[in-house]
Amino acid sequence: MKFKCPLIVVNNIELSRNFYENVLNQKVKYDFGENVVYDGGFAIQLKPYFANMITINEDDITTKSNNFELYFEEEDIDSFIKKLENINGIKYIHSLVEHPWGQRVVRFYDPDMHIIEVGESMETVIKRFLNQGLSVEETAKRTQHPIEFVRQVNK
């Protein structure tokens, strides 16, 4: 068996497409109308279509459960934060924070209240620490990544 991708249910396919394609820069792999698959490895599907497929009432599909998120990485998190600040209607869970391992992330909701996390890649975090003068060993300890990984990033 092979896992293929998560699918999230949306109320308005055009609004959701606009969000994922223009806010998060996702590229469409397949467009089936009520179902859109992105190169990033996830899909969105229109709520009535999804409810009909699994034969349940649309009202039984809940929103804002806060138990699932889609995670994206951005090499230039500061520019992305500036981009978000210019988009009306973004509902933040929290603004940019730095985790103990050094990764900076922001969390907010998509138009259907699915949690979106955008964080720096750990390669970016490691490069930042090394550029700030931390040794390979100090960087490995701080980022909780193996020394071999930090050395590979440092090449």
pLDDT band at 134 (very low <50, low <70, confident <90, very high): very high
pLDDT in tens, 78-87: 999 999 999 9
What is the three-state SS of the chain? CCCCCCEEEECCHHHHHHHHHHHCCCCEEEECCCEEEECCCCEEEEHHHHHHHCCCCHHHCCCCCCCCEEEEECCCHHHHHHHHHCCCCCEEEEEEEECCCCCEEEEEECCCCCEEEEECCHHHHHHHHHHCCCCHHHHHHHHCCCHHHHHHHHC
pLDDT band at 64 (very low <50, low <70, confident <90, very high): confident
Please give the pLDDT value at position 71: 97
